[in-house]
Structures are given as structure tokens and as C-alpha cells.
Structure 1
Amino acid sequence: MARILIIDDERSIRNTLKDILEYEKHEVEIAATGEEGLEHLRNNGFDLVFLDVKMPGLDGIEVLQEATRTHPEMPVVMISGHGNIDTAVDAIKKGAFDFLEKPLDLNRILVTVRNATDKCKLLQETRMLRKQLSPTYEMVGNSVAINQVKEFIQKVAATDARVLITGSNGTGKELVARQLHELSSRAASHFVEVNCAAIPSELIESELFGHEKGAFTTAIKQRKGKFEQADGGTIFLDEIGDMSLSAQAKVLRVLQENKITRVGGDKDIDVSVRVIAATNKNLLNEIEAGNFREDLYHRLSVIVIKVPSLNERTEDIPLLVNHFLTQLCTELGVARKNISVEAMAELQEHQWRGNIRELKNVVERLIILSGPEISLADVKMFATASFG
């Protein structure tokens, strides 16, 4: 069964298509205008859209362009009573899955639905296979604390809800953001990361929104910003608590209007971007101190995911250590090393101020400096430099 949206200004076409598809056990919504159709797309998820070419207001080609921009993997089938080769070619070039002429043929409709839904299933299977073959962003651990985070991700990823990820440095906030993107309908599009703490305040607006040629002394050519680069995908604003108030105001506008303006420009540019932010700061304290906008905080924190520190999930340390041993030995080109029970217990007893990042660095040091098996003596001798 598929969720299908029909957008057509002719009531008879809408109702006929709806009856046919519901008889085939599909779930169907209808819209009489392009504007109404886009509203349905913003608020609901669909597997397939039937879209009329000629409609009052927004025509089908305009709706098609917006739909394929915001839902790049969703098949859109164009239908028209004035079909010609040029119109069909134009629609296909702009992202349509197929083009049907009125009066609609029952068999052709059913074949098109089957082909479109098969394509969706294939894309989903391909995405899952890609994740299995590329475990770069695998979330390792079975503790209660990390399983709660995994459950949040599973519930939230399929939506376009904005997410604020909190937690100390080194806990894996970027990993959570990557998982949210990879499990979303935007996974085929870009994941663009911005480290707000690493960009000077005078450059952050150009970095985020781009600039026009001549906007400032070194702007020798037009440049797209991170929001434009992430159009159709996800932007991850890491360490957003370090963003300047001026840039915060402009990010707020993007969240409210889905538009950006390049530095030195006066043209509004539409963007469809899922925003995920992260911080190691207490933003409520930053609001009290006048360093962070309260209205932006509420826009960003539709869903808040707190990533636990490593000290809150010490039962995951053996899994993490063995994961890093396999990964790092492969990267370093050495035989996979084992670790003794006593050495593992010593690592579990440590207070990890640097969290998983610190643990990974320690494991790499032990691989390089220890013998074939990492012993308790190795941990005490070679890991203490990190422990302080």
C-alpha cells in the first residue's frame, strides 16, 4: 500500500483517480490547486504524486519543481489533457517520473503506480545497503543511556522537525546528526556541516548565506553559502552557542521564511533545508546572559536530544574499545590487537573528561605503543599521558 497525493483542478479526475487507487488499497489524499497540494506535501509524507499540468494559480510545472526540490526521491507523475511531446520532455527534464495523457487509461495508471512504488522500495533498500556497507557513522553501544538516544533518532529522523543536540565535547553529537540525516527522506541529498565556533564572527554570515561579487574587499566572485549548498538536504550547525547575535537573527529568518539573502545582495533565495543544531553550552544560561536569542532557541529546540557522557555509559566501553581496535588497526595497517580483561577494566574505571574522543585517542596510542596484546601494564604506562 502506498500513500498517494492527487493534485488536479478537475473534480471528476480527482474523484475517479481516488476511487481507482483506493480500490487497489492505496491511501489517497486530494488537492484542487497547486498551493493546496504543496501544503499537503509540507505536512504529510507521500510515496507518489499525480499532478495536473494546467491549473489556475501555481501550474503543475511550478509545483513539480518545488516538490522535487523538497522531496527528491518522491516520484511525481504528470497528467494533462493538452499533452504534447515538448511538455512531456520538459516535465521529465524537471524531475517528473512519468507523463500521462487524459483521458487516463486504467491499465497505464496501475502500471505507473507499480513502477513508481517499486522505485521507492529500491531506493530505500539501496540506502539501507549503503549504510550497512559504510559503518562510518555507526552508533556503538547497548547501554540504557545510548539506547534512549537511538530510540529518539528512530522516531524523529523521518520527520523534518528541527533538532537541538546537547552534550559535552567528544560525546558524539555529530554522529547523532549524521544518523538523523541518513535515516531521513533527505538522505540522498547533501549533509552540510558548519562549525560555528571555528569561523570568525565577521565571516560567519558569508559562510552561511554566501555573498555577491564585490560585497566586501576579498569577494572577487559570487559564492554560495552553506544553506544553499544544503538545499534539499540537511545543515548541521555545530557549536551554535558560539554564533554571533547578528548571524543568529539571519538564521531565525531562514527558519521562519525558508529564504536567505546573500551578503551584498537584495534577492531572496528559497531554500528547503532541515536544520540540526548542536551545542556543549547551556543555551538557557546563554539567553540569560544576552548571548543567545530566545526566539531562535525555541525555533531550534522542537526536539532536544541529550547525548550522554562516556562516564554515564561505562558499560559501553568494551564495545567501543573493540570497535576502535578493529577500525584503527585497519587504518594503521597492523594486525588486529586484543586487549586483556584487566586492561579493559582499568579503562572502565577511568573518568573520561574528553569522552569518546579521548577514548579513541587512547586506543590509537595503545595500538601503536603496545605489544600484540594490550596489557594492564600498557594501559598504565602509555595511557596515563592522556589521563592527566
Structure 2
Amino acid sequence: MKNTDQSKTVLVVDDDHNVLEVLDARLSSCGLTVYKADGGRKALQMLDTHRIDLVVSDVKMPEMDGMTLLSEIIRTQPGLPVIFLTAYANVPDAVKAVRFGAVDYVEKPFDGKALTEKIKMMLDESEGPAPPQPVDPPGGTHIDEDVKSPAMQNLHGLVKKVARSSVNVLILGESGVGKERIANRIHLLGQRQKKPFVVVDCGATPAGLLESELFGHLKGSFTHAVADKKGLIETADTGTLFLDEIGNISHEMQIRLLRFIEDRTIRRIGGLKGTPVDCRIIAATNADLGEAIKAGRFREDLFFRLRVVTLTIPPLRERKADIPLLVDHFTSQYCSQHNVKPVMVLKETMDWLCDYSWPGNVRELKNAIEGGIVMCRNNVLRPEDFHVAGITRTCSESMSDESCLSLEESEKNTILRALEQTGGVQKEAADVLGISRRAIHYKIKKYGIDAGSIKARY
């Protein structure tokens, strides 16, 4: 086909001539101009002599493989979109390519219609105006591009690369490091930024209700099902589904979720008809899924489906270079929020904050800054302003300081302090103490603590 000024051009690269012909026919019928190359070297020659808007390439090819071709494209024509076709066995290579700079990958045998729609969407976006800068979620920091630590700079570089594709992402990290924030940023930097971003807290939702929350139900399908309900997966159609604390879901839910990931079809509880859903899946956990797999608590096949790309967020104690930036931001944010004059952070205060281990990570720092601002005098933030929130003591330190009390009394007091620090929010109190939600629920029940009546001390 001859090129025209109006048509978009696609270069298809594959050593299988049948694949070339199928894609040529499919893309040409959509009004696209198609060029074909049976190997990487020929593809580079065509890129030198023709205007190409997008490349679709196989990963495994003789002489020059897809990764080598991609590196040459990045070097000579940065920004040119590349989609890889790959057999299931070669998915790890395709994932590596996405990390390196490819836009996306599609498994063989591929759905021709779905691939064509993906290509057309990418071409339409490439000719439109530049995408708007992502808007931070509520409580966001607006400081992603200014982080100082090499670990976080590398992480945000990976986030930008991963955001351009639609591959599943697994985010790992301790409680409070900002896993939901990273998930939201991937969504906002990606092709689905104007579509829904749906959060499912798998840890806080009772196992008996999670199936209904995710998949929805029909009226009368079980007791109290008084009306049809749309599930959160269906709500996330065309957008992003964020599964927080994925390590907590039951074995039965793991099976249902795996089936959805493979079929991209959901069936409401009590229903017979399947509904197709197109959503990107981002999962997160602070658990060691490798150990959970060994113990038989988590399915290995689901793990591999979720972790097409894995991002690990380091704890705050391992990136202390970012603490001054976070302190300045949260100080400014809460001064504005509480309608107080700008607060000055003394050098000794900043040094003190940087020396603290922050077991609750960024969430704990954020809460501590808010409490310090409320308690500080003369608009100057001093180390002693944080003592009220109790952040100078870890759980073990508090226990040793109260050695005159019984073990149970000391433990109860420690839990009460954490609840006071977080205004009775059990999830955040558990994060501060470095224990699981299940553990703090058990302790609260054991000691007869009325968490709902506890107010923050500041």
C-alpha cells in the first residue's frame, strides 16, 4: 500500500510471514498504511526510508531480536511507539521490553480486533495534544519529580515507563509507604487517566462480602440482596482496578480473580450471563507472597498473572534524603488546611525527624507533622512538639519504659497511645505499631478498648 499524508503508518516486524499477512490485511482494512519486515535489520532499513508512526514487532526473531530492535529505535527515533507480540513462554522478555521503553505487549495467539483497536487508540493519542499533567489524589504530595533519593528517582522513572502500557502491576512495600499513591500515579500518567480509578481494600473487606463487592450480585441471589448491585470490577471498566492488600484474599476469591484476569469476563453472584470488562489491574501488598505461596496460602498462577511488572517502594528509613522534602510539603499543606501562619522548621527539628526510624513510613510522618503544627508555639516547630503524638517511642521502647507495669498493662497502654495518635483509626494505629490489622483487632477486643470513642490528642 502506498503512503498518503492523511493515513497513519504501521511497521509490522515478524519472521513468520503468515503473521505479517494477517496483520497487513487487518490493519489495511482500517485505513492504515502497512509496511512489513521479516526481521530486525530490514525493519531498521525501512525506518530509515519511510515515515513510521508505530511499530508492531515479534520478540523472538533470528539475527536481530525485538529487544535489540527496540534499543535501536530508542536511540534513533525516541518516542516512536513499539508494541511487542510474544508467545506466553516469552512473556518475561516482553515485560523486560516494557520496562526498557516499549509501549505494550500482546500475547500470541492475539485477538486481531483487539490489537487493531489498541493500535488505533495509540495512534490517535500520538497526534493529539500533549496529555495533561497528572492531578494528584487527595492528600497527594505534588513532589514526585523532586525526590532526592536514588531509589525513589529510579522508581518514578519506572512508573513513567509502566504507565504507557496496560500491563498488570504488583506494588510491594511496607504499610504507609504510599502504594496507593503510586498506583494512582500510574493511572494518571497512562492512557486511562480520564477513566475510573477504583480502589478495593481487600484487607478491610470481610471475606464473605468481598465477592459481592468485586463481582456484584443480582436481586434475590442471597439474603439481603434486595436489588441488583454492580461490582467494583465492572465499575472499573475502561479504567484501572487497584486491589490493595491482595495477599489477604481467600483461596476461593483467588480462583475467581484468576479466572477474571484470564477471561476478562465477570459474572455477578446469582447470574448466568458473563459481562466483558476491560480494566487495568494494579495490585499491592505488604506481605511476602513468596512465603505465602510456599505455605499454600496464595496461588502461584495468580501471583504470576498479577506481577507482570513488579515495583517495590522502599521504606522511609531507607530514603532519608526525601524526609526534608516531605516535611516541608506537609508543613505547608497543614498550615493552609488548619488556617495558621507559616511554620518554621528548626534545623535541630529537621535533624531529629531525619534520625527517627518511621516504622509507619510516610503516613506516620504525615500524621506527626499535622499534630506538631497544631501543638507548636510561636509558629516554630520543635522536637518536643512531636512528643505529644508519641512518635519518639516504638512499641518495644514503650514496653521497656513501663517495666513497673504488667506486660498486659504495658501492651494495652501502647495500643491506646497509638489509637490516640491516629484518632482511633485502627488501620493507621496498626501501621504505627508495625503490626497487622488482624493483630490490633484482636488486642482491642482482648483489652475491651472502645476505639470508636478515642479522639486524637492534638
TM, length-normalised to structure 1: 0.71
Contact 2:103–2:164 (CA<8 Å) still a contact in 1?
no
Larger deviation: 278-287 or 8-17? 8-17
Distance 2:120 2:136 in 1: 22
Deviation at 1:42, TM superposition (A): 9.5
Distance 1:189 1:293 in 2: 30
* Counterpart residue number, 1:313: 319
* Counterpart residue number, 2:263: 257
SS of 2:314's equivalent in the other structure is coil
SS of 1:324's equivalent in the other structure is helix
Q: Percent identity?
A: 35
Q: Which of 11, 25, 41 is residue 51 of structure 2 equivalent to? A: 25
* Counterpart residue number, 1:160: 166
* Counterpart residue number, 1:242: 248
Question: CA deviation digits over 1:110-132, x for unaligned, max 9?
Answer: xxxxxx678x532x33x22x538
* Counterpart residue number, 1:185: 191
Deviation at 1:133, TM superposition (A): 11
Distance 2:360 2:198 in 1: 25
SS of 2:311's equivalent in the other structure is strand
Q: Which of 370, 373, 382 is residue 375 of structure 1 equivalent to? A: 382
* Counterpart residue number, 2:140: 136
Contact 1:211–1:219 (CA<8 Å) still a contact in 2?
yes
Q: Which of 339, 353, 363 is residue 345 of structure 2 equivalent to? A: 339
Q: Which amino acid aligns with 2:309?
A: I
Contact 2:26–2:116 (CA<8 Å) still a contact in 1?
no
SS of 1:202's equivalent in the other structure is helix
Deviation at 1:165, TM superposition (A): 0.6
Distance 1:202 1:364 in 2: 36
| 1:387–1:133 Cα change, 3 Å | closer
* Counterpart residue number, 2:201: 195
Q: Which of 229, 233, 239 is residue 227 of structure 1 equivalent to? A: 233
Contact 1:8–1:14 (CA<8 Å) still a contact in 2?
no
Distance 1:71 1:10 in 2: 11
Q: Which amino acid aligns with 2:381?
A: I
Q: Which amino acid aligns with 1:384?
A: G
Question: Equivalences for 1:109-128 in 2 at 5 Å?
Answer: 120-122=127-129, 124-125=130-131, 127-128=132-133
Deviation at 1:150, TM superposition (A): 0.9
Question: Equivalences for 1:250-289 in 2 at 5 Å?
Answer: 250-289=256-295
Contact 1:137–1:178 (CA<8 Å) still a contact in 2?
no
SS of 1:198's equivalent in the other structure is coil
Distance 2:83 2:238 in 1: 14
Contact 1:71–1:186 (CA<8 Å) still a contact in 2?
no
Q: Which of 148, 151, 155 is residue 149 of structure 1 equivalent to? A: 155
Distance 1:149 1:325 in 2: 25
Structure 2 unaligned blocks of 5 or more: 12-22, 36-46, 57-81, 86-101, 105-110, 395-458
Deviation at 1:384, TM superposition (A): 3.4
| 1:159–1:117 Cα change, 3 Å | closer
Distance 2:366 2:122 in 1: 40
* Counterpart residue number, 1:49: none
Contact 2:214–2:232 (CA<8 Å) still a contact in 1?
yes
Deviation at 1:73, TM superposition (A): 6.1
Q: Which of 338, 343, 355 is residue 361 of structure 2 equivalent to? A: 355
Q: Which amino acid aligns with 2:299?
A: R
* Counterpart residue number, 2:434: none
Q: Which amino acid aligns with 1:25?
A: R
Question: CA deviation digits over 1:186-215, x for unaligned, max 9?
Answer: 111111000001111011111111111111
Distance 1:181 1:11 in 2: 28
Question: CA deviation digits over 1:84-123, x for unaligned, max 9?
Answer: xxxxxxxxxxxxxxxxxxxxxxxxxxxxxxxx678x532x
The Cα RMSD (Å) is 3.6
Q: Which of 309, 313, 330 is residue 336 of structure 2 equivalent to? A: 330
* Counterpart residue number, 2:214: 208
Question: CA deviation digits over 1:136-172, x for unaligned, max 9?
Answer: 3633621012112112112211111111111110011
| 1:247–1:12 Cα change, 3 Å | closer
SS of 2:253's equivalent in the other structure is helix
SS of 1:237's equivalent in the other structure is strand
SS of 1:218's equivalent in the other structure is coil
Distance 1:225 1:137 in 2: 30
Q: Which amino acid aligns with 2:166?
A: D
| 1:310–1:259 Cα change, 3 Å | same
